[in-house]
Amino acid sequence: MRALLLREVGRPPELADLELEGPREGEVRLRIEASGVCRSDLSVATGVLRSPVPVVLGHEAAGVVLEVGPGVTAPRPGDRVVVSLSPACGECTFCREGCANFCTEMIPGMVRSVLRDGSTRLRKDGQPVHHQCGVASLAEEAVVDARCCVPVPDEVPLSRACLLGCGVLTGYGAAVHAAELGPGRSVAVLGCGGVGLAAVQGARLAGAEPIVAVDLDPGRLEVARELGATHAVQAGGDVRTAIRRIAPLGVHAAIEAIGRTDTIALAFELLRPGGVAVAVGMPSARETVPIRVGGLFQERRLGGCVYGGGNPLEDLRVLLGLAARGELRLDPMVGFELPLEDAPRAFENLRRGVGLRQVVLPGGAR
Ligand code: APR
Ligand code: ZN
Ligand code: ZN
């Protein structure tokens, strides 16, 4: 089976032939139909985010179930599914407290890049290979946790459904959950990549206004407007003053979807008293962000938001329904579709900031 393998951090990932063992208890084997390329994939390759290596990259996946392991009653072979990064087990402390986005069952995949039982199904020349986020979807096939599979309605093509698995859920959830958006609330979205554009759509669906999109790239601001931004501000100049012209008291919420410490600090500065800044973008976890203490005493808040901040399985069902009805618009978010052979080029594009969300179709365009 062919897959995109990162042998060493700091080196470009490359296509390789790997062995994939069948699913064990509680697992399914998928034919990957589509895998979005997320900035976090690049961040693992460059070492900004940590993962053991060698690792097969890719975590924004949709596919068709080929085979189910022992004990699996759902999904069934032939089902079209999108893969959640959280199984939302319902039993761990976090799930019982209503924080399924921290489900402890995510830890093997997210931290150690292994499956639920701590081992891997991937091998290269007999040696174990890790599964990024427990998904490893820049590949022809993948073995994943059955609980992470959410059925996709027929109206939603898998080449678009894949985006929901990470970027769209993350951005949408940041807007509707963490940023507490609703009618009468204003928001600035910093960064209009896959995550930021999903936040813009979440803001629109929540009824927020104004929705101010901020990006360095005028083309991305154009797409943000198409997806619901009421105003666009080009970064590079004085963003704070530009936003005060639109929201003189500051915004109720600012969502950082870039992954830089200076723009996380800027998000906090853009708030009105009582506002909330939501850091979604992920700089290296070792960085720090300077915050003006005076802002805290105006009850400004700064928090992170991981994987949408809600129940990922419930949010994925909601998002699939919105996509099926055309209320969540996925086509404008996609830049290029590429075959698996071109996945290394997708990483190069991402590094250079070329194009919007890229979708790898391991079976070619269908
Ligand atoms: N000011 C404003 N916009 C910026 C700046 C800046 N200083 N620097 C970069 N941008 C814009 C880029 O032009 C791009 O449109 O931020 C956007 C980032 O988008 P992507 O590279 O597509 O990243 P995305 O996949 O959306 O992820 C964003 O969220 O999940 C995390 O790890 C991920 O940190 C990353 C962030
Ligand atoms: Zn749990
Ligand atoms: Zn991602």
For the residues of 290-339, what is the DSSP string, one character each? ---HHHHTTT-EEEE--TTSS-HHHHHHHHHHHHHTTSS--GGGEEEEEE
Q: Which ligand neighbours the alpha carbon of 99 most closely?
A: 2
Single-letter amino acid code for the residue at 243: I
The residue count for the chain: 366
pLDDT at 366 over 60: no
Tokens representing 55 are 């690792």
Q: Percent of the chain scored above 70 by pLDDT? A: 99
Task: Give the pairing type, strands 357-361 and 334-339.
Answer: parallel
Could you tell me the pTM of the whole model? 0.95
pLDDT at 26 over 70: yes
Annotated domain spans of the chain: 2-156+330-360, 171-306
- If DSSP codes are grouped into helix, strand and coil, which group holds residue 244? helix
Please, what sign has the CA dihedral across residues 126, 128, 129, 131? positive
Question: What is the fold, at CATH topology level, of the domain defined by 2-156+330-360?
Answer: Quinone Oxidoreductase; Chain A, domain 1 (3.90.180)
- Quote the ligand 2 centre to 326 CA distance (angstroms): 31
pLDDT for position 151: 98
Ligand 1 binding pocket includes 85 (Cβ within 6 Å): no
Q: What is the mean pLDDT of residues 164-185?
A: 97
Instruction: Give the burial class of 46: count Cβ atoms within 10 A of its Cβ; 0-12 exposed, 13-18 middle, 19 or more buried.
Output: middle
pLDDT at 288 over 80: yes
pLDDT at 286 over 70: yes
Question: 162 with 36: CB under 8 angstroms?
Answer: yes
pLDDT for position 365: 58
DSSP state of 241: H
Question: 27 with 34: CB under 8 angstroms?
Answer: no
Question: 32 with 66: CB under 8 angstroms?
Answer: no
Ligand 1 binding pocket includes 335 (Cβ within 6 Å): no
Q: What is the mean pLDDT of residues 26-47?
A: 96
Q: Hey, whose CA ends up nearest to atom 31 of ligand 1?
A: 281
pLDDT for position 364: 79
pLDDT tens-digit readout, 64-76 = 999 999 999 999 9
pLDDT tens-digit readout, 262-274 = 999 999 999 999 9
pLDDT for position 228: 98
Q: What is the mean pLDDT of the chain?
A: 96
pLDDT at 198 over 70: yes
Ligand 1 binding pocket includes 215 (Cβ within 6 Å): yes
Ligand 1 binding pocket includes 174 (Cβ within 6 Å): no
Tokens representing 87 are 């199984």
pLDDT tens-digit readout, 302-361 = 999 999 999 999 999 999 999 999 999 999 999 999 999 999 999 999 999 888 999 999
pLDDT band at 18 (very low <50, low <70, confident <90, very high): very high
Question: Class for domain 171-306, per CATH?
Answer: alpha beta
Same topology for domains 2-156+330-360 and 171-306, yes or no?
no
- If DSSP codes are grouped into helix, strand and coil, which group holds residue 175? helix
pLDDT tens-digit readout, 202-257 = 999 999 999 999 999 999 999 999 999 999 999 999 999 999 999 999 999 999 99
